[in-house]
Amino acid sequence: MNQPVTPSMNEQHSTHERCDTLIIGAGPAGLAAALAAAPSGAAITIVDDNPQPGGQIWRDGPQVVLPALAQQHRAALARHTNIRLLPGTRVVGLGDFQPSDKAPTLLLEDADRGWTQHSHRIILCTGARELLLPFPGWTLPGVTGAGALQALIKVGLDVRGQRIVIAGTGPLLLAAAATATQAGATVVRVAEQAPWSALAGFAMQLPRWPTKAVQALSLLNTRWRANSHVLEVQGTTQVQAVRLRKGPHTEETIACDRVACGFGLVPNTHLGQMLGCALGGPLSGGQGLAVDALMRTSVPGVFAAGEATGFGGSERALVQGAMAGHAAAGQVQQA
């Protein structure tokens, strides 16, 4: 059961709590893990540092209409009384291991308190973050990550009427451009630094995943240019323009109010590494947490799923999360 270790203590103020399965991260992977493990009857605690579950792709906020799949996951979560969701909660360190623990003990905190969380299993669903590389002017107000701009818009940033340049590399640029356009901004350029040859290779793979191909087509943007690099953001107290290099010899300067840059994703492995988990996720160039076929990491009792193990989008995160949830519940066949 989800309960304080010392029963006489008020749960709100207890300093030690215990559950069967502790899931870190309530994105697609964490939600799928919780829902897969729930029918076993295990006491599940799922924590996330955001105010609402959903992770990156299903981030909730005043400007968001959640997709049906996200709503279904949230509704299913609420139906399981053995799942305890703790939003606004993060892991801040390692606690003292007790003999009854089968997994490492973690220190958690929310806005009001801190406590030690004991568990038999931990599932790390900590996702990924975007890589932002520096360039002249990158600290000016108005420069953000591409995914960060998307997240800010979802939680209420008003970009109506603003001119935005989105730059860097990867599919997230197009997703960010679509979000900004829907929110009333004018996306004046999507500058993809990869050359056409690399993009053609990527496009050739898309028919293998029809859903992704349809999604890519729906995100196509007439302002998108390949082989286009950010050289400098100009402005004194705020972004006023961005200078881009087009091909080997040509430059262009575009007046704008915001520049949103992302250079791909990096798996969030700090927590896993703190626990001693080995790296080696193959879809992340070896930077993700290494897992076996049952999503077990190299540390006993610790599983990992989703983008913390490598990249592949929400579909892969959902499948891996479900596998980890079943495996953590001892349901090897289902996993």
Q: Least Å distance between CB 293 and ligand FAD?
A: 18
DSSP secondary structure string, 31-52? HHHHHHHGGGT--EEEE-SSSS
Provide the sign of the torsion angle of the four alpha carbons 304, 40, 1, 47, taken in this order: positive
Contact set with ligand FAD (CB under 6 A): 24-30, 47-50, 55-57, 90-91, 125-130, 147, 150-151, 172, 175, 265, 268, 271, 306-307, 313-314, 317
- Kindly list the distances between the CA atom of residue 223 and the CA atoms of 184, 203, 241, 303, in Å, as whole numbers in the listed order: 16, 18, 16, 42
- Taking the least distance from each CB to ligand FAD, the nearer of 60 and 232 is 60
- Taking the least distance from each CB to ligand FAD, the nearer of 166 and 227 is 166
- Taking the least distance from each CB to ligand FAD, the nearer of 227 and 317 is 317
* Dist CA 273 CA 268 (whole Å): 10
**Whose CA is closest to 154, among 180, 188, 190?**
180
List phi, psi (to 5°) of 328.
Answer: -65, -30
Query: Is residue 319 within a helix (H) or strand (E), and if so which, with residue range?
Result: helix 313-328
* Dist CA 1 CA 243 (whole Å): 58
Q: Least Å distance between CB 60 and ligand FAD?
A: 11
Instruction: Give the CB-side neighbour count of residue 138, counting CA atoms within 13 A.
Output: 13
Residues 146, 169: contact at Cβ < 8 Å?
A: no
Q: Give the tokens for residue 74.
A: 């949230």
Q: Least Å distance between CB 11 and ligand FAD?
A: 20
Q: What angle do CA 263, 48, 145 make, to 5 degrees?
A: 20
- Taking the least distance from each CB to ligand FAD, the nearer of 218 and 236 is 218
Task: List Cβ neighbours of 271 (8 Å cut-off, separation of 6 or more).
Answer: 24, 91, 124, 126
- Taking the least distance from each CB to ligand FAD, the nearer of 173 and 227 is 173
- Taking the least distance from each CB to ligand FAD, the nearer of 239 and 265 is 265
- Taking the least distance from each CB to ligand FAD, the nearer of 227 and 321 is 321
Q: Least Å distance between CB 208 and ligand FAD?
A: 17
Q: Least Å distance between CB 135 and ligand FAD?
A: 19
